[in-house]
Each structure stands twice: as C-alpha cells, then as structure tokens.
Amino acid sequence: MPFKSLVEEPRCQVVRTLDVVGEKWSLLIIRNALRGQTRFSQFRDQLGIPSDILTARLATLVSGGILEKRSYREAGSRERFSYHLTEAGRALNIVIAALMQWGDEYNPSPYGQASLVVDGDNDDPLELAFVGATRAAVPSAEVKFLPGPASVVTW
Amino acid sequence: MPFKSLVEEPRCQVVRTLDVVGEKWSLLIIRNALRGQTRFSQFRDQLGIPSDILTARLATLVSGGILEKRSYREAGSRERFSYHLTEAGRALNIVIAALMQWGDEYNPSPYGQASLVVDGDNDDPLELAFVGATRAAVPSAEVKFLPGPASVVTW
C-alpha cells in the first residue's frame, strides 16, 4: 500500500482541519455564512476583503467541500453565483463557537458580545462543553490530549 | 468616552481570538504545548518550523498572554528559556479540540486519529458538545448564531 508522506497526507487532525479552513479570512467567511450570508457582495462588503482574495478563498472552500456554489440570476442582471454551507461547512460551527467562547472569557471586547450562540428551537444560550460517555461535563482543566493510533511523533 | 474604531478594537469574538492565535503555526505551537512541550528545540524539531518564525510566534504568544517565558539552565549550558501555557493558553484546548473533532468527522486521515481527547482522571474519551442551561446536549444542526449587544453589522 503506497503510504503518502506526512507532508502530503498529514495525520494530525488539527493540521488537516487547518489545511482546509486555517486562514483568517476563510474562518470569517464561514462565520458570515453561518449568519446566513451567501453572496459575494455580502462577504466583500461586510468583511472588507479585497475581491481577488475573496475569490481565491471561496474557491478553496468550495474545493474543500465547505461551500457549495450555485448560480442565480436576478431580473435584468447577468448570472451570478451564491455560496451555501454544506453539511461539513455547517459543522464548523463548533470551531467558530470555540473561538467565540475563548474570546468571551479571555479577550472580551469592552462593548460586550458581538454574537451569541443559541438553541435554534428557543433561543436559549448555549456553550461548548467537554462531555464523556455519560454526557456529564468535564472541566476544561481536567481535559488531556493523548497520542492516538496514527501518532508518529514523540509527545 | 473615546471609542476605538472596529479595526483597532474589533468586537467580533472570532476576530478577537484570531488576532491572538489565528495563524497556523501559532495553533500548532499551542497544540504541542498542550502535549507538554515547553522548549524551543522541541517546537522547532517537531513542527519543522524555521527558527526565525518560531521566535516571532513565541513572542506573539507571550505578549498575548498565552505562553509564559521562564529561564532555565542545564549543567554546563548557557541560560535558555522555556515556554509554559498560562491559564488562558490551557483554555485554548477547546479550540484545538474543536479543530480535531471536525477533522475526525469530515476530513479523517486514512491512518486514524493522531491525537485523542480524554478525561485526565480516567482516560475516558471526551467530545465537545453544545449544551444549554440544563446541560443537555443540543445537536450541532440546531445551533444558531445571533447578533449580540455589541453587533454593529447587518446579518
């Protein structure tokens, strides 16, 4: 079986995820998509991102399976494209929520929270917690990382 | 009250967190620190990061309150420095775990998991879940983001 090198096929899940979304603009495009934005002009205007960079980042997110590109045409306009989160893209809400939760605790804005994470059913506030098989929450300070079966490096 | 501009003082918690840790090498240094590494040579050798970039990233993480720099001296050697996670740095385990969890589900390595997230008490596997006030888990697909009190943009 032809094994790829660690550079071609990194094993660490953190590296693999960052290879797809690990760029500030990409994460902010995903944040805005989670807010319901779909159009090039919305991303460009709200993020203040230069058009050429936005084009490149959207292409990367489409090829990475995070966004799906669809065409649409408004009356009197040429065909344009909109960008919609795939299931994998929507599941990145855990990454965005983790960044928000850490920021709220350790680097809060003097203006308060810009976004809230809520239950779609009743708008009750939610937070991310580490849970075990019994679904009981484990305090963050007691969480440990261990090498998994695919680990190749010394810890 | 002299309000800073959104560029000087961004309100979005995602942007604020990415300003501190939003760079691939920085997140990988934090990942390795969570594995217990503390020394410049460990980070350099395991990450394969050029020394000058590592020096710059460590300085940013120290000034951002993520790592604490301490001096040490081994017999016969000159004084060196080691880097230790602060409480805020350790709390970034939620961000690293979110990246891992998404990768395990949507971009898994053919070799399996390189790292596992476990309960430090009994090594039981843990996962991140969205929980409400009752601590019951809410499925990721039902989670919603809403503008908070500091929001200044259209959603």
pLDDT tens across B107-140, in order? 999 989 999 999 999 999 999 999 998 888 999 9
Of B103, B124, B155, nearest to A133 by CB-CB distance is: B124
What does the DSSP 8-state code read for residue B96? Answer: H
pLDDT above 90: percentage of residues in chain A: 70
Query: Residues of A with CB below 8 A from B61's CB?
Result: none
**Residue A95, SS3?**
helix
Positive or negative torsion for Cα B8, B9, B13, B17? positive
Restricting to A residues 21-50, those with a Cβ less than 8 Å away from any Cβ of B are 22-24, 27-28, 31, 34-37, 46
CB A146 within 8 A of CB B114: no
Of B106, B132, B150, nearest to A119 by CB-CB distance is: B132
CB B110 within 8 A of CB B121: no
Whether the predicted pLDDT of B151 surpasses 60: yes
Q: Which residue of A lies nearest to B22 if distances are taken between CA atoms?
A: A24
Please indicate if any CB of chain B lies within 8 Å of the CB of A6.
no
Q: What is the mean pLDDT of the segment spanning B52-81?
A: 94
Tell me how far apart the alpha carbons of residues B119 and B114 are, in angstroms, rounded to a whole number: 17
Q: Structural domain boundaries of chain A?
A: 13-116
Of B13, B31, B129, nearest to A100 by CB-CB distance is: B13
CATH class of the B13-116 domain in this structure: mainly alpha
CB B118 within 8 A of CB A148: no
Query: Residues of B with CB below 8 A from A126's CB?
Result: 130-132, 138, 143
Whether the predicted pLDDT of A4 surpasses 80: no
* A28-70 residue pLDDT tens: 999 999 999 999 999 999 999 999 999 999 999 999 999 999 9
Output the six-digit token pair for B31: 């990942």
Spatial neighbors of B28 by CB under 8 A, at least 6 apart, are A14, A15, A18, B47, B49
Q: What is the mean pLDDT of the segment spanning A104-123?
A: 93
Please provide the DSSP assignment of A2-32 as one string: -PPPTTTS---HHHHHHHHH-SHHHHHHHHH
Structure confidence at residue B152 (pLDDT) = 80
So what's the ipTM on this one? 0.90
